Structure 1
Amino acid sequence: MMNCILHCFKNNQNQTFGLYQGDYIDETDNFSFYLESDSDCGDVRIDITDIPLKITRLTQIKHKYIYVLDYDSLQDYFQSQKFRIENYSKELFCASLHQKIWFYRLFVNYPIGRCDILLIDNKTEKTIHSFSINVNSSKINETEFDSLVKYIESKSTKIWTKHSLLKHTASPSNNDDKVEWLLTFCENFINDLKKEYLNSFSFDKIRIIRQKNEIVNYTSEVNTSDESLIWLINNLDTLYPTTSCDLNKIIINNRLFSPVEILSNELDESTDTIENQIIHGFITELKLFLNHIKDSFEEDIKNFSKITFEGRLNFYSYKRSLKRLKDIDENIIKIKFHLDQHIPVSTETLDFLNTNKIESKEHYNFVFEKLIEWLLNKNATYSKDKKLFKGINRMDQLFEKACFYKLIDSFKKLEYDAEEISQNDDGFPNKIKLIKKGINHYLYFEIIPNKLITVRNNSGKLKPDFFIELENGKFIIIDAKYKKLRTIEQKDYPELTLKYLHGIGNKTGAYFDPLALFVLFPGIEDSIDYYQKKEYDLNSDNPVYPSIGSIGLNFEDESDLLNNSIKKLLEINS
């Protein structure tokens, strides 16, 4: 059995510190470790959460084997993220090894929270050794991270389906939408029933009057019929002799008897009708559906063990969905209790023929119409394809997606309709048509309009995150930067100006006409900063074009500064 110890370090401001279990490291800190083992490690790897990396033997000290991260393996990883390793690594002296080792800014754009570092046997996939640290960020805190994920989740298919954000119709036409649609349906139906109609079932009920026969203690007030006498003839042992003074006497063969019990014949008012059985049946149907979804989610959530960033986001989203399910289920239990009290039934059903009585009462008709809608649309696979977070494994990618939704929200605020035109390989929209009173603009995500061409670098075409193509041929360029404003001001303005204002042009060679170049970044509060001097910025009397600036986004509240900037540019363009 191999015995080993993982020694982890961080370096910031040219100072190196040892890390212990659970210690914190900032995403911009340089990180390194060495593995000390009493034997050859063999075929193993290091998994830093979702990043599998090779290790290489560095040296041997006092019969101990010393391993460090393999530089080529790190280079492959940084290249896959379109980062140059030279910009994210430095060789620093390690006092405990008495020599230099490589440190890496491995956690740039890494999600805040726990990071597990695991030594894995490649043959058995078993964990040999584990170490955990906590990654934090000066760009975003836990509250902002929570609101960011919550905001993106609010833009999932359930909202798009409900409000037709990017669709022509709100009907659940595919399995990706159906489960979300059905949950939203349950939520809205239960809330509306509880608020508007439930109380009506306590006083305005569909009832029937029917004969009720039961064996009761005999008195002269008990209603009897021929069936009562037939029952008595067959149960003579219930008779006993009595006197003429007995008010409950009956005469049989000139002898006086009084029965202890008799079969009564009463008229009873009952709510055990087909209409009420349907009401109960529908509520039970919804509860069974929610239980099925809950079981499915609880099973699926086990698979999201926070091994990948996408997995962590889905884990977070599933937990929120389970809370939502719990709230709906609690309301269903209250509704069922109320119905059991006021319109009890002996059985439940979803079968129905005659609906005349249902249509005569508003509260019954409301439930019945919702039942029809449910039965027409309920066929769904009980699993969630969270394409919402598909393809995301870094914080900057999460932020980009949130910015995409914010831009659509801004146009929706300006009364534009949004229609999806195309998707990328992950099934996420990459071209949106924005429509208002015959005016058509287009929003592009990670692609550029066909009429434009852009210069290339080693990693491919240089293109902004978002392109807004206005109907008259002008453009708004927007880039999402998961950075602090200070870094954007110092480094990004010149680079983005060169890349996008000078590196993009028309294929025909005509003049490229951008109205603005904006950078979106995470902010505790909404803020805006312009590259131009105040007398020439977008809000001045003499704005210079293209307007260049940065807008900080807070995902907890409405982004008024972004909305107003887009509104201003559209007004200038018209």
Structure 2
Amino acid sequence: MDSEKIILRVSSENELKEFTLLQDNSLTIQVNEFDYIDIEFVTDTYFKTQDLKLFIGNTIFNFSEPIEINGQYFYYLDLEFISNILPGNNNAHISKVFYKTSLGNRRFSRIFINEIGIAKLEVLLNSTGEALVEGKVQISSSKITYDNFYLVTTYLISNNYFDNQILYKVSVTGNSSNIQNSLIEALRELLRRLKVWSEEINKFKTNSIKRYHNEQNLVSFNKDLELSDISLNYIVDNLNTLSRTNFHKHDEAIEINNSYYIVESILIDNPISSTDSYENRVIHGFLKNLSLLVKEKELYFNNEKALRTRVVNFKDYLINCFLDLFKTYIHQIDQEIDKINLFFIRHVPVSHPISKLNNSNHNFLSKEHYKNVYDLILYTQNIFSVDIEKDDLSLEIESFDKLFEVYCFYLLKDILERKTASSFTRKSTNISPDNKLSGEYELKKDSILIRLHYESLPVCFQQYSRGNLKYRPDFLIEFENNGKSKFFIFDAKFKQYNTLTLEQDLSKLSLNYLHKIGPNDRYINETIGLYTISMGPSNYRKSTFKKSYDLSLTEYIGPQIGSIEIDPKNFDISKNPILEIIDYAMHLTLNEIRQ
């Protein structure tokens, strides 16, 4: 094939740079997600535009019809196609200015918006799948650090957000019979049960299922011994053990035919108990096998962490996030198993472990702590029954601004559940066709009913503005007490604010969410606040009001308007600015303070 190249132009902070990618080089280009980009493919061979595709990961970009200059063909990105696949409306990420190129003045586009990490560029020939030119672009973002990106992604995976696509489904038995569970969820449950076992492990020492057998021993006779037929037969067969005595009141004398004898020694059955029971042998075998299996899995997944990359490589990144989470649980499980195993070796010894259960397991049910282990043995039988292969995993792709919104949803949900020591019940679903998590979630704390509305509105809300636009904030938390409700609105914003941009966003959100929609009876129900949630280097809450009118005070001005900044790396779910607002809202709901 004749020589081909990609020319990549970058407009960054009013500086124009140009890079050339050839087939035989491995150049990695550094760009920012906000940079305006122009990509041009140059070749000596003519190709039909429908037979050429630019792949950035799994995202396909189209070329416009080529321009021929001196026997070379120049293909450039189709801006109309780009405007349809980038986020935002009205060509939000197409440059307003025209930049000078070898093919004339052209507008550039932010094709890496909401991206971070490594993006692989390839120009592919559709007919053969051959890569004509390829290269890599390292994308940086001022909105989020790589560490925080990793933390947010693993947090979403731990909440099974990618569950239907990226996490394996396994059937678990025992107490969870016929329940479909994700592997991560199953490992979390396994770790929980092992920790419960560790907490009550001394019961296996003090109240163990034991094995009993008799040993026959010659002992000195005393009247307190329990005699059996074996003991009497021994005396008959060994009369030399008897010696006659005239002292019939002797404590150790026995009477035979009106005569008294001292018994020198006698054979008795001595019942012996040990922990070498079938049940304890099974437990030893179970711990041994589970330990080997867990260590094998831990070794298998001991691979390097992948960088987050665009789309197809993003798949590998998410899979590695999943595997990291998997390894974390596996490591903790391994530690618990080792601790339990050491206890059983020291305090509940057996002659040999048994690897499999037989059909006689009723004794496991005789003691509660043994029953729990029996259930655990059944539970683990299918957890590792599926081999995890990267090629078999798939996922849903979303830009990070959407992922941040989902992250905020789980954060609000976790904070409220931790605060109330309750779990949400989903009351309505699929309010938004593009969001599988949208709907209403409900829990109760004492006399307060709390509802978390995600891209949905309470039934008591109505629209005040004219027109057909429907206004729905990202999150609306409802606190109901004695038939009266207070509402607090949160809107997730994947951006970094300065004073001006924050004021602009809050003005727009206040108009849409505080004036264009609201509860239909404001004497009973009221909206007490609206805050943005964004990401930054710290965790803090900032109100637009003076401190003397803050929500935390009796003389507060409502509705409160402000912003919250969170840093996932240093976020404490039990102490944070979101929890502060929830505490204030619950206090107001209980005390019915109104202005």
In structure 2, the residue matched to 1:446 is: 455
Equivalent residues of 2:119, 2:313 under 8 A apart: no
In 2, the alpha carbon distance for the partners of 1:83 and 1:378 equals 52
Tell me, what secondary structure is at the counterpart of 2:491? Answer: strand
In 1, the alpha carbon distance for the partners of 2:388 and 2:441 equals 24
Segment of structure 1 superposing worse, 452-461 or 121-130:
452-461
The CA deviation at 1:503 is 2.5
In structure 2, the residue matched to 1:8 is: 8
The two structures have a TM-score, normalised by structure 1, of 0.73
Tell me, what secondary structure is at the counterpart of 2:329? Answer: helix
Segment of structure 1 superposing worse, 492-501 or 172-181:
172-181
In 2, the alpha carbon distance for the partners of 1:345 and 1:68 equals 73
Structure 1 residues not aligned, in runs of 5+: 160-169, 212-267
Question: Structure 1 residues 446, 54: CA separation in 2 closer, same or farther (over 3 Å shift)?
Answer: same
Is 1:345 aligned with 2:352?
yes
In 1, the alpha carbon distance for the partners of 2:130 and 2:162 equals 39
The CA deviation at 1:46 is 1.3
Equivalent residues of 1:277, 1:349 under 8 A apart: no
Question: Structure 1 residues 156, 497: CA separation in 2 closer, same or farther (over 3 Å shift)?
Answer: same
Question: Structure 1 residues 357, 461: CA separation in 2 closer, same or farther (over 3 Å shift)?
Answer: closer
Cα RMSD after superposing both structures: 4.5
Tell me, what secondary structure is at the counterpart of 2:286? Answer: helix
In structure 1, the residue matched to 2:46 is: 40
Equivalent residues of 1:44, 1:120 under 8 A apart: yes
Question: Structure 1 residues 496, 310: CA separation in 2 closer, same or farther (over 3 Å shift)?
Answer: farther
The CA deviation at 1:423 is 3.3
Tell me, what secondary structure is at the counterpart of 2:410? Answer: helix
Q: Deviations over 1:468-496 (max 9, x none)?
A: 23322442211000111216425312221
AA aligned to 1:26 is N
In structure 1, the residue matched to 2:77 is: 69
Is 1:407 aligned with 2:407?
no
In structure 1, the residue matched to 2:259 is: none
In 2, the alpha carbon distance for the partners of 1:30 and 1:458 equals 35
In 2, the alpha carbon distance for the partners of 1:210 and 1:36 equals 93
The CA deviation at 1:518 is 0.7
In 1, the alpha carbon distance for the partners of 2:188 and 2:44 equals 58
In 1, the alpha carbon distance for the partners of 2:92 and 2:162 equals 44
Equivalent residues of 1:2, 1:37 under 8 A apart: yes
Query: How do 1:104-183 residues align onto structure 2 when only pairs under 5 Å count?
Result: 104-110=109-115, 112-156=116-160, 172=176, 175-177=179-181, 179-183=183-187
Q: Deviations over 1:49-93 (max 9, x none)?
A: 232111113522332211111112112203xx3433145434432
Structure 2 residues not aligned, in runs of 5+: 21-26, 164-173, 216-271
Query: How do 1:509-528 residues align onto structure 2 when only pairs under 5 Å count?
Result: 513-528=526-541
The CA deviation at 1:157 is 8.5
Identify which of 424, 427, 440 aligns with 1:431: 440
The two structures have a TM-score, normalised by structure 2, of 0.70
Identify which of 543, 568, 571 aligns with 1:557: 571
In 2, the alpha carbon distance for the partners of 1:476 and 1:357 equals 52
In 1, the alpha carbon distance for the partners of 2:161 and 2:117 equals 27
Q: Deviations over 1:143-169 (max 9, x none)?
A: 22233233334434999xxxxxxxxxx
AA aligned to 1:118 is E
Tell me, what secondary structure is at the counterpart of 1:461? Answer: coil
Segment of structure 1 superposing worse, 63-72 or 82-91:
82-91
In 1, the alpha carbon distance for the partners of 2:447 and 2:69 equals 76
In structure 1, the residue matched to 2:31 is: 25
In structure 2, the residue matched to 1:187 is: 191
Equivalent residues of 2:114, 2:400 under 8 A apart: yes
AA aligned to 1:400 is E
Tell me, what secondary structure is at the counterpart of 2:191? Answer: helix
The CA deviation at 1:565 is 1.4
Question: Structure 1 residues 458, 357: CA separation in 2 closer, same or farther (over 3 Å shift)?
Answer: closer
In structure 1, the residue matched to 2:470 is: 461
In structure 1, the residue matched to 2:321 is: 316
In 2, the alpha carbon distance for the partners of 1:346 and 1:373 equals 17
In structure 2, the residue matched to 1:197 is: 201
In structure 2, the residue matched to 1:476 is: 488
Paired residues in the alignment total 497
Tell me, what secondary structure is at the counterpart of 1:521? Answer: strand
AA aligned to 1:23 is I
AA aligned to 2:5 is I
